[in-house]
Structure 1
Amino acid sequence: MKFITAAFLCFMLLSCGSNTSIVNSWNDPETTIAQEQFKKVLVVVLVKDEATRRITENKIASVNPIFKTSYQYLNDTNLQLTNEQKLQILKNENFDGVVTMRLVSKEKETNYVPGTNTSIYYGGFGGMYSGMYGYGFGNWYGMYSPNFYTPGYYQETTYYMVETNVFSLNKNKLIWTGTTKSSNLTDIGLTVDEIMKTLYKQMIKDGSVTKK
């Protein structure tokens, strides 16, 4: 287990401020990620765009040598194989785990952002400073308060729901799954960091991995 735990710890160290939160998770009551002690894990990113798939898989694989990109093993050359044949390829390559990641949905939300009135910070100095025409500095500044008002506005935010699954090939079953919600997707690499950081914290909470 130390191999996969170290990988997630690397994500923790690489990630700073997060725009990602956990929506839900589930773990097999009989099998934890810790118990599996994975040594070779296939990373499968299920997206239509091949470039995005490779960027995301490469990002995860770069963290720890136990992670291998799926496009190296499951690609156009064996696309027509049956699921059993594909599974046999993974067994022949000594894979003991699979992590899949897919975009479940993309949702837009519109929120109202209230305006700000910074003039309140400039009206309380009364007679503390004798400015022009006998006005205190605060009173003089306050006459221009409209210049310091920012009107409110509506802001549209796009949220990406991503499902991540962890499979045990030795037991041939799903042992953990989690769905995350991310916003402001401008950099795929940073978003992957945030997702993995959020998932790792949830895995600890679920008792599927042990914090080191």
Structure 2
Amino acid sequence: MKKLGLFLLAVGLLSVTACTSTKLTSSWKTPEARLQQENKIMVIALVPAKERNLRILMENNLVSELKKEGYNAISAYATYGPDDELAKGDEKAALKKFRNSDVDQVMTVAMVDKSRERSYVPNYGPYGYGYPYYGGFWPYYRGWYGSMYNPGYYQVKTKYQWETNLYDLKEKKLIYNAQTDSVDPPTAYRQAYLFAKQIVRDMQKQQLIAKN
């Protein structure tokens, strides 16, 4: 019984893993761009106000991953607080705030879309969809019966689409962009953690930052 319980637990974990994913769909950087470790990077997550906790997690995890690689990163939420002081003024005021905080680059992480997708999953029965006729009567019969007469079910997946931009304030230009999808993240923390890992790994691949 104990072995059966462990087996079912393993199957359950594999099912969760199969249904959830965080993947990079595209990225690019300007050819000459390369960050210096002494420069300060401010991370700003742009999410709906009602998902403030997700914003904090997205910023904190990216800051943490960048610091692990030796880069000087800070969170906009931790710096300016929950009242979005940065957005209250104009561009000139915002740049002044950055200068006062010695910020060299700004990384924005925007939730460009959050959608729920409903799809039908057919029940193919114990033998899958159909069965070869040469396998005998019963496997053939049960295979087709399962696919034709047993009802399937509907599943709903939540999909997040993120866009990451890195701006160099001195050069006044965009130097890095990445598009990322997260499907059915089990928790907000898990989504933020996997997202940060993915982005920092890609920045290293693009040779925007050095491997520690």
Answering whether residue 97 of structure 2 is matched by residue 95 of structure 1, we say no
In the TM superposition, residue 73 of structure 1 has moved relative to its aligned partner by: 3.6
Q: Secondary structure at the match of 2:88?
A: coil
Code of the residue aligned with 2:30 in structure 1: it is D
Q: Which amino acid aligns with 1:189?
A: Y
Change (3 A) 1:96 1:152: same
Is 1:81 aligned to residue 83 of structure 2?
A: no
Match of 2:75 among 69, 72, 80: 69
Change in Cα spacing, 1:154 to 1:38, as seen in structure 2 (3 Å) is farther
Secondary structure, counterpart of 1:110 in structure 2: strand
| Structure 1 match to 2:135 | none
Matched length: 173
Amino acid at match of 1:164: T
Aligned-pair CA distance for 1:183: 0.8
1:103 and 1:119 map into 2 onto residues whose CA distance is 42
* Long gaps (5+) in structure 1: 1-15, 121-141
Aligned partners of 1:165 and 1:178 also within 8 Å: yes
Which residue does the alignment assign to 1:10?
none
What are the superposed Cα offsets for residues 132-153 of structure 1, whole Å, 9 maximum, x if unpaired? xxxxxxxxxx9xx89xx77532
Structure 1 residue 193, shift from structure 2 partner: 1.5
CA–CA separation in structure 2 for the residues paired with 1:209 and 1:78: 27
- What CA RMSD, in Å, does the superposition of the two structures yield over aligned residues? 3.3
What is the percentage of aligned positions where both structures have the same residue? 28
Pairwise CA distance, 1:85: 1.8
Separation in 1 of the partners of 2:42 and 2:34? 18
Cα distance change of structure 1 residues 69 and 200 upon mapping to structure 2, 3 Å threshold: closer
Partner amino acid, structure 2, of 1:100: T
Query: SS of the residue aligned with 1:117?
Result: coil
1:166-185: CA deviation from partner (whole Å, max 9, x where unpaired)? 22223222111101010113
Q: Does the aligned pair in 1 maintain the 2:161–2:179 contact within 8 Å?
A: yes
Q: Which stretch shows the higher mean deviation, 79-88 or 98-107?
A: 79-88
For the residues of structure 2 that align with 1:152 and 1:108, how far apart are their CA atoms? 19
Per-residue deviation, residues 90-129 of structure 1 (Å, max 9, x unmatched) = 1122112221111011233333434253479xxxxxxxxx
How far residue 162 of structure 1 moved from its aligned partner, in angstroms, is 0.5
Per-residue CA deviation, residues 51-110 of structure 1 (Å, 9 max, x unaligned), is: 432333233334538221212444545643221122122112211222111101123333
Q: Which runs of 5+ in 2 are unaligned?
A: 1-16, 129-138
